[in-house]
Amino acid sequence: MYQERIRRPELLSRVMSADEAAALIKNKMVVGSSGFTKAGDSKAVLQALGQRAKTQELQISLITGASLGHNTDGNLANAHLLSRRMPFQADPILRDSINKGEVLFIDQHLGETAELLNNKHLPEVDIAVLEATLINEDGSLVLTTSVGNSAVFAALAKQIIVEINTIIPVELAGIHDIFYAGNYPHRQILPVLEPHTRIGTTALPLDPDKIVAIVITHERDSPAQIVAPDEKTSAIAGHLLEFFNYEVKKGRLTTSLLPLQAGIGKVANAVLNGFTNGDFHDLTMYSEVLQDSTFDLMDAGKMTFASASSITISSECYDRVVNNIGQYKDRLVLRPQNISNAAEIIRRLGIIAINTAIEFDIYGNVNSTHINGTNMMNGIGGSGDFARNAYLSIFVCQSASKGNSISHVLPMVSHTDHTEHDVDILVTDNGLADLRGLAPRERAKVIIDNCAHPEYRDEFRSYFKAACARGGHTPHILEEAFTWHNRFRQHKDMRIKQEAI
């Protein structure tokens, strides 16, 4: 069966087992692997490599699109295979290794990894492991449910291992759009003018001589876990929908809005689901990941087109979409992540970017990555690519969590991923703060009033008042700015004040 997916006959002889292919990856190599938010990742070779690392001295630098499925990152961390990992991960075991300093993690804007590789600002990629639907006669690859960084890996890697995943319907061919902008000093324009603009080829061109192994798999992507909206996510979605209605009323947006980007997670899903009802229509997405909500909106007749770098959906949605791709194909395009996340296109299209914060502060700075200023959660992902250049940059999170022992609004963020300059709108279950055109002291008032959990509001006001008395454009009392974080570290509750000794 797989033979019909290898349309360049000379390559048939390069089919081998995952173990044999993994043996081509040597100690200290830099490996570039497909996979973006669990979609289109290596199903066999990286796992086999992890097995081998249990008995052999073997460490690699692993670069991917974004996070991997199938606990691959966790298994590789457990096997102590990873010396370096970039640009993103979302695995609890790997996260623990990173925070212990065992794995050197380089947290990058997802749109920039390909740039850094092209510019040789990162070590050369020795070998690429790329999932594909099929190999064309000319050696080019039809990718699967993500594009990620596969195009740059294919261009730069000395050797390529292809995983042909026969569970992916061949009808998927046609949804990808692969484009190289060229190298300095002669870079091309990225001529995407609308979310549906195609600028490249449907297959990933590569030199077939670089293909050193082909491994056959038959396994689905790890499914996305869809969490039903709860009271808090519904409240956040409600505030945002009210805001969009207000913008329409003011004439700044139409009821088709502008192309949407939404980070992964339950809040984004809740917000997008909110568009199913109401007057919004002819919506589009220009995002990095498409989740269930995208296809729900298409099925509801509310969304006309979606562009991204990956499709990460639940099992139910997979059946409906991937196994029925003909019905969606003309409304979808998957692009390399340096195109889906390109500043140039994000600014030109005027994206409405909705991303999740871990915490934000009273002046509008956002922490997307670090717990208590030190421990990596997942990584910045594409949030910075979108927030900086969006038409509207929106960050959402709950006002407080764990029985309100953690406030997600803080006097000062313990790590900054998005500065005050790049944040327009903040939303919690408590309310929405519109920061456009406000100076820091004005922002503090509206964030405390609208976004902070009421249980923390009095202490915020005391802090802000005392800070203003001391003066400054952005008033702070530096020696107290992290008091709440410190309380949490000591007492697991930001409300418990230090007792006098």
Residue stretches of the annotated binding site for CoA: 263-267, 358, 378, 382, 402
User: Three-state SS for 285?
Assistant: strand
Q: In the range 173-202, which residues lie near a copy of itself by CB under 8 A? A: 181, 184-185, 187-189, 191, 193-194
Q: How far is the CB of 464 from a copy of itself (least distance, A)?
A: 12
Can you tell me which of 218, 319, 472, 497 binds a copy of itself, judged by CB under 8 A? 472
Locate 357 and state its tokens.
């914060």
Q: How far is the CB of 255 from a copy of itself (least distance, A)?
A: 13
Conformation bin of residue 425: beta by default, left when phi > 0, alpha when psi is -120 to 50: beta
**SS3 state of residue 163:** strand
What count of residues does the chain have? 501
> Is there binding between residue 403 and a copy of itself (CB under 8 A)?
no
Smallest distance from a copy of itself to CB 105, Å:
6
Strands 332-334 and 375-376: unpaired
* Alpha helices, H only, 275-314: 292-299
> Minimum Å distance from CB 393 to a copy of itself?
11
Catalytic annotation, pick one of 112, 131, 163, 288: 288
Q: Which residues of 211-246 are buried (b: 16+ CB within 10 A; e: fewer)?
A: bbbbbbbeebbbebeeeebeebbbbbbbbbbebbee
Longest dimension (CA), the chain: 78
Is 470 a binding residue for a copy of itself by CB under 8 A? The answer is yes
Restricted to residues 202-261, the positions that interact with a copy of itself (CB under 8 A) are 250, 252, 258
Choices 42-50, 237-245, 374-382, 401-409 (CB under 8 A): range interacting with a copy of itself:
374-382
Hey, how many other C-beta atoms are within 10 angstroms of the C-beta on 330? 11
93 binds a copy of itself (CB under 8 A): no
List of residues 6+ apart from 319 with CB closer than 8 A: none
Report the 10 Å Cβ neighbour count for 99: 16
Tell me if 475 contacts a copy of itself by CB under 8 A: yes
Q: What is the 3-state secondary structure (H, E, C) of 315-361?
A: HHHHHHHHHHHHHCHHHEEECEHHHHCCHHHHHHHCCEEEEECCEEE
Using the contact rule CB under 8 A, the part of the chain among 140-148, 151-159, 306-314, 386-394 near a copy of itself is 386-394
Sequence ranges of the binding site: 263-267, 358, 378, 382, 402
**Contact between 123 and a copy of itself (CB under 8 A)?**
yes
**What are the CA-CA distances from residue 151 to residues 48, 316, 454 (Å)?**
23, 29, 49
Nearest residue (CB) to a copy of itself, 11 versus 477: 477
Q: Give the residue from 102, 96, 34 showing the smallest Cα distance to 66.
A: 34
421 in contact with a copy of itself (CB under 8 A): yes
> In the set 474, 491, 493, 495, which binds a copy of itself (CB under 8 A)?
474
Angstrom distance (rounded) from CA 212 to CA 21: 8
Kindly state whether residue 432 participates in binding a copy of itself, applying the rule CB under 8 A: no
* 492 binds a copy of itself per the rule CB under 8 A: no
Question: In terms of CB distance, is 219 or 420 closer to a copy of itself?
Answer: 420
Residue from 158, 218, 347, 497 that binds a copy of itself (CB under 8 A)? 347
CB contact set of 244 (below 8 Å; sequence gap of 6+) = 253, 257, 280
1 versus 189: smaller Cβ distance to a copy of itself? 189
CA distances (Å), 174 to each of 87, 139, 309, in order? Answer: 27, 16, 14
Among 58, 114, 334, 342, binds a copy of itself (CB under 8 A): 342
Question: What is the enclosing helix (H) or strand (E) of 240?
Answer: helix 231-249
Q: Which one of 417, 430, 446, 463 is in contact with a copy of itself (CB under 8 A)?
A: 417
x/- letters, 32..51, toward a copy of itself (CB under 8 A): --------------------
380, 107 in Cβ contact below 8 A?
Answer: yes
Piece of 126-134, 312-320, 326-334, 438-446 that binds a copy of itself (CB under 8 A) = 438-446
26 touching a copy of itself, by CB under 8 A: no
Shortest Å distance, C-beta 194 to a copy of itself: 8
By CB under 8 A, tell whether 360 contacts a copy of itself.
no
Strands (E), 199-258: 211-217
Min dist. Cβ of residue 222 to a copy of itself (A): 24
Q: Does the active-site annotation cover 288?
A: yes
Report if residue 69 touches a copy of itself, rule: CB under 8 A: no
Active site residues: 288
